[in-house]
Homo-oligomer: A and B are copies of this chain.
Amino acid sequence: MPAEYTVDRTSPVPLYFQLSQQMEAAIRSGHLKPGEMIETEMQLAARHGLSRPTVRHAIQDLVNKGLLFRRRGVGTHVVNSPLRRSVELTSLYEDLVRAGREPTTQVLVLKRILVEGEVPEALNLGSKAHVTYVERLRMVDGEPLSLMRNWLPEGQFQPKRSALEENGLYELLRSQGIHVTMANQQIRATAATAEESRILHVKKGSPLLNMRRIALNEEGQPVELSNHVYRSDTYMFETTLMAR
C-alpha cells in the first residue's frame, strides 16, 4: 500500500516542497522502510495530479539529502542507514539545548580591537582593521566546557553582553538577518596552555580539541572567525560528509 500524500494547490508552499517534506517524514517515521522501493515518478505524478518534473524535483531533493538513491532502469529506494544529521551547521550551544542540558555562558571579553595579519585577511578586511572581539566561557552544570574566541567584522552588528550570554552566536547573527550558509573548519588536538588549563580546570598539557572556523553568508562574504578550545572529556565533533 503506497504512502498517500496531500498537496494543497492554494498554499504558497511549492508543490515539490510539500511533497518532499511529506516523503521525508514518511522515511524518518519508518512508514517507508530502509531499502524499500518507492513509487515511480509516473505513479506519484498520476496519483497526486502533478507533472513528472515536479515529482522529480521533490525526489531529487531527497537524493541530495542522502535519504533516497536511484538507479536507472531499477527504481528509487530508501537508503539503509539514514544518517541522523544532514549536512548542517550547528553550534555547541544548540547541540546542548537539544540534549536537554542547561548550558550557561560567561562573556570574558567584549571589545573593539585593532588587528593585523591573519585575522583581518581571513575576514577579507585587508591587512589591518578594527574588529569586534568576543571571548566567552561556556559551562554546563557548573563545569567549564569550552573557551571560545570570536572575531567579527565591525559594523555588521553590535552584540550586547547580555545577548551573548543568553543566545548562541549564530542565533544572534540570524536575528540580524545574517545567514551563515557555509563554513570552513579546521580541527586539531592541542595541549592545554597555562591560561587554558586555569580557565577550563584541566591539567596543563592535557588534550584539548581546537576548532578554527571561517563562516560565510550566502554571498560568500566572511561573517565570523572562530578559535575555540573544548575539553576533550566532554565534547566531540560529529560531521556527516557526502561525496559529490
- Which residues of A are at the interface with B, using a C-beta cutoff of 8 A? 34-35, 64, 66, 69, 77, 79-85, 87-89, 124, 179-191, 205-210, 214, 216, 218-222, 230, 232, 236-244
Complexed CA–CA distance, A64 and B87 (Å): 12
User: Cβ of A189 and Cβ of B186 under 8 Å apart?
Assistant: no
CB-CB < 8 A to A186: which residues of B? Answer: 236-238
Partner of A243, one of B180, B242, B243: B180
**Nearest chain B CB to A192 CB, angstrom units:** 9
CB-CB < 8 A to A85: which residues of B? Answer: 184
User: Cβ of B221 and Cβ of A80 under 8 Å apart?
Assistant: yes
**Nearest chain B CB to A219 CB, angstrom units:** 6
A-B contact pairs, 8 of them (CB 8 A): A69-B218, A80-B221, A83-B182, A85-B184, A87-B241, A182-B241, A182-B243, A239-B239
**Nearest chain B CB to A84 CB, angstrom units:** 8
Complexed CA–CA distance, A22 and B81 (Å): 35
Complexed CA–CA distance, A149 and B90 (Å): 29
* Chain B residue, CB-CB nearest to A34: B220
CB-CB < 8 A to A181: which residues of B? Answer: 66, 242-244
Beyond A190-B232, A207-B189, whether A182 also contacts B220 by CB under 8 A is no
* Chain B residue, CB-CB nearest to A82: B220
Partner of A220, one of B81, B88, B188: B81
* Chain B residue, CB-CB nearest to A222: B81
User: Cβ of A207 and Cβ of B191 under 8 Å apart?
Assistant: yes
* Chain B residue, CB-CB nearest to A241: B183
- Residue with the highest number of chain B CB atoms closer than 10 Å, among A66, A216, A239, A241: A241
- Residue with the highest number of chain B CB atoms closer than 10 Å, among A189, A191, A237: A189
* Chain B residue, CB-CB nearest to A81: B220
Complexed CA–CA distance, A238 and B184 (Å): 7
CB-CB < 8 A to A35: which residues of B? Answer: 219
CB-CB < 8 A to A237: which residues of B? Answer: 185-188
Complexed CA–CA distance, A77 and B185 (Å): 24
Complexed CA–CA distance, A89 and B179 (Å): 26
* Chain B residue, CB-CB nearest to A79: B220
User: Cβ of B189 and Cβ of A232 under 8 Å apart?
Assistant: yes
Beyond A80-B124, A81-B216, whether A239 also contacts B185 by CB under 8 A is yes
